[in-house]
Structure 1
Amino acid sequence: MSSNSSLKKIETRKPAKSATVRGTAMAVFSGGMALIDTSEGKSAAIKRVKRDEQTSSLIKKVGAALERPGVSRKTVFPPGSNTSFVYAVDPNDPTILIRRTAQGKRERGRLIHGHFEPLPAK
């Protein structure tokens, strides 16, 4: 997979330094990313929602969640779930997978012919 022969170069113009957008800034995240509501409010019927379910508060929660790396164990292994394993790429060696169980056991290994093969213990 170290070969770049399958990658194609895409010709692009220089990126724009700025853009003009009309709307309401709903949330601003790090790196200059912003979520802007460009609707004028005429297309959908107005419906009352709780303050913590409004777009502005939900977007802030999503932004805060995306700033933190990882996913909680409860999300991956909810109670009564049949999920047995979760796989992740080893950050130090992308050729190695890490398999985790709901009980917290971790194994390092490789995917060989579609099956996880654990590496021998060091």
Structure 2
Amino acid sequence: MIRKTTLALCAPAVLAFAAGGAHADFDIGEIRLPPGFEIEEYVSGLRNARGLAIGENGTLFVGTRNVGKVYAVRDPGGPGQEVIELASRLILPNGVAVRGSSLFVAEVHRILEYENIEQRLGEGI
């Protein structure tokens, strides 16, 4: 079930930003880091990733910007990694947050709630 909400949400979430406007030919080695820091690609193939959130069971949720998609990544960085497209044709879905078992996706004009998201990943939400 998807619930549309117009309220501003203040939900605890793990938010970060990923490489802006990432392209297939982007060289991660071009990023300059302070001494003692390192960077590596965690999940490949997700164009224009912007917002990240971690679900209760470790699923990584990724909101894109110009691509208009939201992905779920099971076992991120692990041997059983699986990328699932949750939604497409969204308008700048760059804000994602998890609260309890729900995933919240912020578009320009609305916020979508996907209830019990990690239990429903294989259902073609």
TM-score bucket (shorter structure) = under 0.3
In terms of fraction of residues, the more strand-rich structure is 2
**TM-score, normalized by length of structure 1?**
0.26
**TM-score, normalized by length of structure 2?**
0.26
Compare CA radii of gyration and give the structure with the larger one: 1
